[in-house]
Structure 1
Amino acid sequence: MRLALKLAYLGTEYYGYQIQPGVPTIEGKILKALRDLGAVKNPSKARYSAAGRTDRGVHALCQVIAFDTDAPDASMPRALNSQLERIWAYAWAQVEADFNARKSAIERGYRYMLWGKGLDIAKIKDAVSIFPGTHDFRNFVNIEKGKSTICDVRSVSVREQDGWIYIDIAANRFLWHMVRKIATALKLIGKGERDKEWLGKMLDTTLSESLPPLDSHGLILKEVRYPDVKWNVDTYARNRALEELHELFINHEITSKMLEEIESGMQ
């Protein structure tokens, strides 16, 4: 049978999603766990696929993988999670034989979060209105040989909460560093160093300017959509994941409070 799994992870301690020799990657940990459990012996023969290849430090709420298996019980989220750290499978679906986690996706959604101090949120909200539609994003990506830079952006929204700015972008596909470079452009506009007219010229490629991507730790893969896939939530796996996330949140909150103590003591 062919299975798809939905996973979340913190990318901070990994060298990106895609397997690389000599360094810990999310894909490397997942494939090892599947082999150790007897769910997948050979990823190639199992026609393993993943929805996306997130960079080093990027997080995910909805990474999706798919593979053929003769051991469905060993492939369930609760089994997989017993072998993983800071990677949580929490839903599964039986999919058609031709399902491919990357090629079958019809839409992906990312969120970028950045500190909003000193940024004009109204200017950023106004600027993002030009993104929806089909455009050439060559000024907003690291161009890879043989890959088209045309993407169809379905929606972009911006909101502010507790001093943070949340940028949500949905598109049919994303290219290397695309969201992080868009975030760079919006930050420049929010700081008053660029304007909407400049952004329009960058988007219609009448202007070319190199943009550095913002930090990877502010980016999360939020959603991957497929037609006719019915997800089954593994309640035990999800609840255990939520417990672990709560503990991580407390630990990070303690660190945050300690940083506040140090900062206030130095002033």
Structure 2
Amino acid sequence: MRIALQVAYIGTDYHGFRFHPDVRTIEGELFRALAELNIINNPHEANYIAAGATDKGVHALGQVIAFDTADPDAFTARAINTRLPPTIWVWARAHVPSDFDPHSSALSREYRYIMCGKYSISLLRNASRLLKGVHDFANFATLEKEKSSICRIEKIEMRVEREFTIMDIRADHFIRHMVRKIATAMKMTGCGAKDLSWLEQMLNPAEFTEGLEPAPAYGLIFKNVEYENIIWDEDAYAKKTVRQSLEEQFRWHGVMAEMLRELKESMII
């Protein structure tokens, strides 16, 4: 039987999602927990596949993994969570077809990028309208051999909340660093450093090339992957415990943010 799991994590303390024997990764922790519970012992033999990879420091709400297991009803999301670090959680599962591939079966993926600071919402929305649709995003990505840079952005929405500017973006697929480089471009247009004609040029890499630095990884969340005819069974208890853990961290980081603000303002000359 093939099972898919939805996984959330805070990526700060990990060297990305993909397994690597020499460093701590999200996938490495998942493999260890699944092996300890005798769910799978060899990822290759279990036909393990993930929806995608996130870089070091990137977070996720809806990462998806799938694998074959002999006894799919012998474990729950909450049982897996007891073997995982306190910053990685499984919160939903689904029985999926034997040929289900969470990477190639995806209809779309959605990310959120959170930028510190307020930018011109009118400039940001004008810029987002230019990026929507099918374009060659070679100027907005770290290109990988034999991978097309043509993508279809289905949604890109910008809004300002409190002291932050938030970008929600959904596409049929993304190439490496694409969301973070688009975030950099949006910051540059939102503050007036670049105009819309520059953005139009960036969408024509055959005629114009310019390198962009990816925005910091800590602002990126892998939010969701859409599939056809997959029905998720959410674990209410797992979601409750995840929320409690996040509330504790939210309080701690909230106090730390105010403390840092106090220190910073005390140093004004």
Instruction: Please state which band the TM-score falls in when normalised by the shorter chain.
Output: over 0.9
SS at 1:12 equivalent: helix
CA contact (8 A) 1:34 1:75 kept: no
- Counterpart of 2:105 in structure 1 is 104
Q: Separation in 1 of the partners of 2:254 and 2:215?
A: 24
For residue 62 of structure 2, what is the amino acid of its counterpart?
Answer: C
Q: Separation in 2 of the partners of 1:76 and 1:67?
A: 15
- 1:62 and 2:59 aligned: no
For residue 110 of structure 1, what is the amino acid of its counterpart?
Answer: Y
For residue 222 of structure 1, what is the amino acid of its counterpart?
Answer: K
What TM-score results when the alignment is normalised by the length of structure 1? Answer: 0.96
Q: Separation in 2 of the partners of 1:201 and 1:154?
A: 20
- Unpaired runs of at least 5, structure 2: none
For residue 237 of structure 1, what is the amino acid of its counterpart?
Answer: A
Q: How does 1:57-96 map to 2 (within 5 A)?
A: 57-85=57-85, 86-96=87-97
- Counterpart of 1:232 in structure 2 is 233
Q: How does 1:19-58 map to 2 (within 5 A)?
A: 19-58=19-58
CA contact (8 A) 1:111 1:219 kept: yes
For residue 258 of structure 1, what is the amino acid of its counterpart?
Answer: M
- Counterpart of 1:259 in structure 2 is 260
For residue 230 of structure 2, what is the amino acid of its counterpart?
Answer: V
Which shifted more, 68-77 or 210-219?
68-77
For residue 98 of structure 2, what is the amino acid of its counterpart?
Answer: A
Residue 263 of structure 1 deviates from its aligned partner by: 2.5
- Unpaired runs of at least 5, structure 1: none
- Counterpart of 2:247 in structure 1 is 246
Q: Matched residue pairs, number?
A: 266
Q: Separation in 1 of the partners of 2:180 and 2:100?
A: 29
CA contact (8 A) 1:88 1:241 kept: yes
Residue 179 of structure 1 deviates from its aligned partner by: 0.4
**Residues 264 and 194 of structure 1: is their aligned pair in 2 closer, same or farther, counting only changes over 3 Å?**
closer
SS at 1:199 equivalent: helix
What TM-score results when the alignment is normalised by the length of structure 2? Answer: 0.96
CA contact (8 A) 1:81 1:89 kept: yes
Residue 197 of structure 1 deviates from its aligned partner by: 0.9
Residue 196 of structure 1 deviates from its aligned partner by: 0.7
Residue 163 of structure 1 deviates from its aligned partner by: 2.1
Deviations 1:194-220 (A, max 9, x none): 111110111122311011101000000
- Counterpart of 1:195 in structure 2 is 195
- Counterpart of 2:115 in structure 1 is 114
Deviations 1:69-108 (A, max 9, x none): 1132454211110111201111000000010111111100
CA contact (8 A) 1:37 1:74 kept: no
Deviations 1:124-178 (A, max 9, x none): 1111101121111110100111111111111111011102111111001011100
For residue 14 of structure 1, what is the amino acid of its counterpart?
Answer: Y
CA contact (8 A) 1:130 1:200 kept: yes
CA RMSD of aligned residues (A): 1.2
Q: Separation in 2 of the partners of 1:34 and 1:140?
A: 36
CA contact (8 A) 1:17 1:53 kept: yes
- Counterpart of 1:126 in structure 2 is 126
Q: Separation in 2 of the partners of 1:55 and 1:193?
A: 27
**Residues 124 and 248 of structure 1: is their aligned pair in 2 closer, same or farther, counting only changes over 3 Å?**
same
**Residues 26 and 93 of structure 1: is their aligned pair in 2 closer, same or farther, counting only changes over 3 Å?**
same
Q: Separation in 1 of the partners of 2:78 and 2:54?
A: 23
Q: Separation in 1 of the partners of 2:172 and 2:265?
A: 46
